[in-house]
Amino acid sequence: MIRNTSNGWGSVSRWLHWILALAILAMIGFGWWMNHVPARPDRFFYRSIHADIGYVILLLTVLRLVWRAVNPTPAMPPETSRWQKIAAHVSHGALYLVVILVAMLGWAHSGARTPDYSDFFGLFHVPQFTSPDRAAAGAYEDRHILFAYVLLALIAIHVIAALWHHFIRRDRVVARMVTDDVG
């Protein structure tokens, strides 16, 4: 099934989930690596690639939110308590919000630095919404890094909750994000 149902996630939702999950984790690791290796002559190249993938993550996140808005969200298992449903909604909302915030702060950093990271894989230039300003670039970068760590913490909570659903509750919540077969 391509679209979501009241019982399970469709293939588009599942693919977007896993592509974004892998890309975001890779970007956090790549970003950490870029900021913890000694200065190198090819540092701009690696930061440009990081920015390009960040633009893709932002676009895919927006597409995922649009897809989610036009598709039903699978219901939680009937035995799920009210506080758990609220926690799930809040944590998912926080994940989307912080992914977008991290990407937007990275984009703001790009436009505020000289030279910027607007050259998208050599294909075209991504419009920048900030102006060159060295102090602002540093502030955007600091916040980008801070919220990347916040995002990492939210991902850890998400994974722990998934493991709890899978191994403790055994309620097939995780299985719905892995396969069409939710029976």
Residue 39 confidence class, pLDDT cut points 50, 70, 90: confident
In this structure, what token pair is assigned to residue 157? 């909570």
What crossing angle do the helices spanning 82-112 and 134-163 adopt, rounded to 10°?
Answer: 150
The confidence score (pLDDT) of residue 177 equals 94
* pLDDT reported for residue 29: 97
pLDDT tens digits along 49-85: 999 999 999 999 999 999 999 999 999 999 999 999 9
In the predicted structure, residue 26 carries a pLDDT above the cut 90: yes
Share of the chain above pLDDT 70, in %: 98
